[in-house]
Structure 1
Amino acid sequence: MGVLSNKILLEELNPGDHIYSWRKAYIYAHHGIYIGDGIVIHFTRGAGQEIGTGTVLDRLLLTSVAPPHSTTNNAPPCPRCGDHTRSHGVISSCLSCFLSGGDLYLFQYGVTPAFFLAKARGGTCTLATSDPPEHVLHRALFLLENGFGGYNVFKNNCEDFAIYCKTGLLVSTSINVGRSGQAASYMAAASAVVSSPIRFLTTGFGGLALAGCGMYCVSRLVSDIGFRSDVSKVPVERLVIDLSSELDEPEKTP
């Protein structure tokens, strides 16, 4: 495991590890917390739909990938997990269902800025440091019972869930839960592409590529939860109370 790959073997897993597995040709990775005994707690908008966004983008870029034990395509339910085809929110699954046929990767914590930028693809590491395993497991198990709010691919997704379990950190500004490395990468890439035509007017192709790469790297770094200053440590019990309060608030009418 290093700059080139975070892939690990099953026997290297420890309770409290933040793991992930790539879905659909490395378009998106699904994240979770390994709690031991072959069980993973993870946050999903729907079993088999971890790579989806829940928006029109799904029709253009993504298709759902069903777990190997899903009842989809007449496959029998997993003998350990049962039928998860209608499960959503924070759920527990066996490692096989979580991986959905993919390889196992370990998310890295406490990396240096240089190492972070060397990992060009987001959603694999963070500058933030991890809390002890017992704290990680407490948060994951508590959220399994109480939920993590509504799934949102841009600000409250499976990676945000796993990072919170590992660090207890939440973004304290208008982005009320967090910003995953994957989402930050896509947004950074979009920013670089959108601004490229303007820079092309004042620079050649070499300068354009360099400027675009620089903007992408800077955008990723400043979005990392271990780098930004608008974060705070939030006890999981307090988080659940806050999420419940948001759900109880009446809808505002125009």
Structure 2
Amino acid sequence: MAAILSKIKTEAEGTLRLLWKKIDPNDLKPGDHIYSHRRYGLYSHHGIYVGDGFVIHFIQTETKNNVLRLPKAEKFAHRPPCPKCLYDEYKDLGVVRTCLDCFCCHEEKLHSIRYFVYGAPRVGLLLKKSGTCTTLVSSRTANEVVEEAYELLRSQGFGEYNLCQNNCEHFATFCQTGKKLCTQMSFYHDLEEWVKRRIS
């Protein structure tokens, strides 16, 4: 029993170190599932690193004006396309290929890059609210992950963006495993169910 507990503790410590460690972009390898925190860690944005400083990721499939449906939508300044990757946040929608800076940029600030962990021990799932890990095992080679990401980019075949059912984490997990999964949404769903049970 002591040996099993020791193994669990070692796995958990390794997972925690990996989850909290900021990644040097030079250490990234094609096929890596990466993420960047948003809004002080309340949620995270996910993508697949495909090499040469580029990431394929899934973003909203409607323009900001359509999503907001508010007169105030005009307050969002239209930035020119990125000089590195030519990404235009108002024209490029759905599955996109951008440079790391565009992937990590949110509200004019660059956020750090982190690895998403597959095959995490169950204790690691305590952190799943921020979309950091899953017990699911990645079943594809790095080349297969990159090929899947490029195929979805070419075909725009990932459907309409939906925050709860078809988002960036679903996309990256699908590229890695062939299964759509979002640990962030499942955490919030579990929390909602728990609150309902406590109230009733």
Could you tell me the TM-score, scaled by structure 2's length?
0.76
2:165 equivalent among 145, 152, 155: 155
Match of 2:135 in 1: 127
Confirm or deny that 1:186 pairs with 2:188.
Answer: yes
Q: Secondary structure at the match of 1:154?
A: coil
Contact 1:154 1:179 in 2 (8 A): no
Q: Secondary structure at the match of 1:3?
A: helix
For each residue in 1:162-214, what CA deviation from the matched residue of structure 2 results, as whole angstroms up to 9, or x when unmatched?
00101112xxxxxxxx341111111111112222123xxxxxxxxxxxxxxxx
* 1:7 to 1:163, Cα distance in 2 relative to 1, 3 A: same
For each residue in 1:148-171, what CA deviation from the matched residue of structure 2 results, as whole angstroms up to 9, or x when unmatched?
1111111111100000101112xx
Contact 1:46 1:86 in 2 (8 A): no
1:10 equivalent among 25, 31, 41: 25
| Greater radius of gyration (CA) | 1
Taking the aligned partners of 1:74 and 1:134, their CA distance within structure 2 comes to: 36
More helix by share: 2
Q: 4+ residue stretches of structure 1 with deviation over 4 A?
A: 46-49
Q: CA deviation at 1:25?
A: 2.1
- Aligned amino acid, residue 81 of structure 2: P
Q: Secondary structure at the match of 1:190?
A: helix
Q: CA deviation at 1:84?
A: 2.9
Taking the aligned partners of 2:130 and 2:82, their CA distance within structure 1 comes to: 31
Which runs of 5 or more structure 2 residues have no equivalent in the other structure?
A: 1-13
1:30 equivalent among 27, 30, 45: 45
Q: CA deviation at 1:75?
A: 4.0
Q: Secondary structure at the match of 1:16?
A: coil
Confirm or deny that 1:89 pairs with 2:94.
Answer: yes
Contact 1:113 1:127 in 2 (8 A): yes
* 1:55 to 1:128, Cα distance in 2 relative to 1, 3 A: farther
Percent identity between matched residues is: 38
Match of 1:79 in 2: 83
- Aligned amino acid, residue 194 of structure 1: K
Q: Secondary structure at the match of 2:83?
A: coil
Q: Secondary structure at the match of 1:73?
A: coil
Give aligned pairs, total: 171
Contact 1:47 1:84 in 2 (8 A): no
